[in-house]
Amino acid sequence: MDLTILIPVKNEINNIESIIQKIDDVIKINYEILFVNDFSKDGSLELLKKKELSNSKIRVFDNQKQGLGETVRNGIKNAKGKFLTILMCDGADDLNDLKIYFDTIYNENLDAVFGSRFTKDSKINGYPKIKMILNRVFNYFVSLLYLNKYNDFTNAFKIYKRDILTDLEPIISESFNVFLELPLKIINRNFKYKVIPINWYGRKYGVSNFKINELRSKYIFTLIYCFSEKILLLNKEGKKY
């Protein structure tokens, strides 16, 4: 299996069929779609189970503990692909970028590829203004703290070698902050990665589960945790010499 496409699902019944079709239309390598349901209440799980029965590329798991962090841990544990990408179910990400992700990580023998929606070659539409401002301020702060030019740490859509994700454990984040934890831990461990421009078009159906006011403290905690880990790893490395 070349690629596991991990798709978190929480009340996305109106987007499930379209994301499956988009993947089928664009991705031509050997892949599986691993849907992880996070306590949906709109019939998403029931629809996914029907799709699983009719499509051999689809596998469905149901979280026993609520949260995106648990979804990601569940996905990593059950993935069969050599590489794993996290794709949100809202259809905002460009599937053509996933093709470039895979070609890049495979051909250049990388551990991860990070996308940035904020480069001169990126296209971005429908991003809420307040969310955009907060995103840019926080990501700029992270880049300063880490002395790293990457500018889209918090975006979910990235690709990883599946095996190296186990080296990031324990993955402690419980919500959207898990998408900050993963790339920071990649950087902390000096894994090989590359940044490429990607596009983002916003959701057409449903309501985002992202709640800015509820997540601020979680992002800050994750940043402090990961930066503390970075210092510890540097000290550990220094003691070897």
User: What CATH number has the domain bearing residue 92?
Assistant: 3.90.550.10
Q: Are 214 and 132 in contact (CB under 8 A)?
A: no
Q: How many domains would you assign to the chain?
A: 1
Cα–Cα nearest to 103, from 166, 26, 29:
29
* Domain span holding position 128: 3-238
195: number of Cβ within 10 Å: 18
Q: How would you write the pLDDT of the chain (241 residues) with one tens digit per residue?
A: 899 999 999 999 999 999 999 999 999 999 999 999 999 999 999 999 999 999 999 999 999 999 999 999 999 999 999 999 999 999 999 999 999 999 999 999 999 999 999 999 999 999 989 999 999 999 999 999 999 999 999 999 999 999 999 999 999 999 999 999 999 999 999 999 999 999 999 877 666 666 566 678 999 999 999 999 999 999 887 665 4
Q: What is the dihedral of CA 165, 191, 110, 117, to 10 degrees?
A: 80
Q: List the beta bridge partners of residue 35.
A: 7, 60
> How many residues belong to the chain?
241
Please tell me the distance from the alpha carbon of residue 51 to that of residue 21, in angstroms, as a whole number: 12
pTM of the predicted protein model: 0.94
Cα of first residue to Cα of last residue in the chain, in angstroms, is: 40
